Amino acid sequence: MRDSCESRRRCIMSDFVNITAAILAGGLGTRLRSVVPDRPKVLADVRGRPFIEYLLEQLDEEGVRSVVLCTGFKGDQVKDRLGTTYRNLTLRYSCEQYPLGTGGALRLALSLLESDLVLVLNGDSFCDAPLDEFASWHAAHRSSATILLARTNNTCRYGSVQVDDEGRILQFSEKTHAQVPGWINAGIYLLSREMIESIPTVREVSIEREVFPGWIGRGLHGFRSKGLLWDIGVPDAYAQANAEFVKTRPSE
């Protein structure tokens, strides 16, 4: 069993060792300010640790070695806390001088993204999904951009994503008051460098509201995972994460 786990570990590392990961960590966190007033939300304590450390551990366990942190609001605190290395990860920073949104922040960091395929994570959510399967699915479908999707019993806070049988994304549905099950954006993406280059520069751009809808029909896919999604974007979700968060796929 140990040999089998080690073999799988080497296989995962071969998928990600040459891929740069980017963590979108520059949000203002206005909705969370009432409970986390003094720091960026990626440094909010969850069960005694800064939330971003769970993301970095996930990347390290998957074999990633290079990470770019896209910071903004109080970004100096992130750099002071994490420095230039974390476990086996090399950390670099792209700091926006004014709010650029998730898409604009990623485009700003382009010169630091050294791989043709980039793994992107939202800094305020964690999905315990098998990223090796995600990468393999992305490659098999020859996708230009793939969003990792999670299943939820209530899409009203997130909006939902509609995909066809081949995983091609057909539509992003807006948030509604209806409490219905569906697939949602889990905040993890595999994006080709060419697609990132197409994001507008020098202005605020939302990757969720502007970029992804514009990529429908241009090779945008959704990988339907069984991973459990946690986020800390609003006080209720943050409180739930502090009470219940646990990694369901521990390091081997």
What is residue 4's predicted lDDT score, i.e. its pLDDT?
42
Residue 136: pLDDT band with limits 50, 70, 90? very high
The dihedral through the CA atoms of 55, 241, 46, 239 has a sign that is: positive
Q: How many helices (H) and strands (E) in the chain?
A: 8, 14
Report whether 113 contacts 120 (CB < 8 A): no
> pTM above 0.95?
no
Q: Is 17 among the domain residues?
A: yes
Q: Indicate the number of domains in the chain.
A: 1
pLDDT one-digit tens code per residue, 202-213: 899 999 999 999
Distance between CA atoms of residues 89 and 92, nearest Å = 10
Instruction: Please give the single-letter amino acid code of residue 90.
Output: T
pLDDT beyond 50 at 217: yes
pLDDT tens digits for range 174-198: 777 778 899 999 999 999 999 999 9
Does residue 14 have a pLDDT over 60?
Answer: no
The CATH number linked to 162 is 3.90.550.10
pLDDT surpassing 70 at residue 252: no
| Catalytic residue ranges | 175
pLDDT tens, 80-113? 999 999 999 999 999 999 999 999 999 999 999 9
**Is 135 contained in some domain?**
yes
User: What is residue 2's predicted lDDT score, i.e. its pLDDT?
Assistant: 43
- Are the C-beta atoms of 113 and 68 separated by less than 8 Å? yes
Cα end-to-end distance, the chain, whole Å: 11
Domain residue limits at 181: 2-244
* Cα distances (Å, whole numbers) of residue 130 to 59, 134, 135, 208, 236: 11, 6, 9, 22, 27
* Residue 46 predicted with pLDDT over 70: yes
Q: Would residue 249 count as lying in a domain?
A: no
Cβ–Cβ < 8 Å for 65, 90: yes
Q: Is 251 inside any structural domain?
A: no
Cβ proximity of 43 and 66 under 8 Å: no
Residue 223 in any domain: the answer is yes
Please report whether residue 98 resides in a domain: yes
Residue 252 in any domain: the answer is: no
User: In the predicted model, what is the mean pLDDT of the chain?
Assistant: 90
Query: Looking at the domain assignment, is residue 180 inside a domain?
Result: yes
pLDDT top residue among 252 and 86: 86
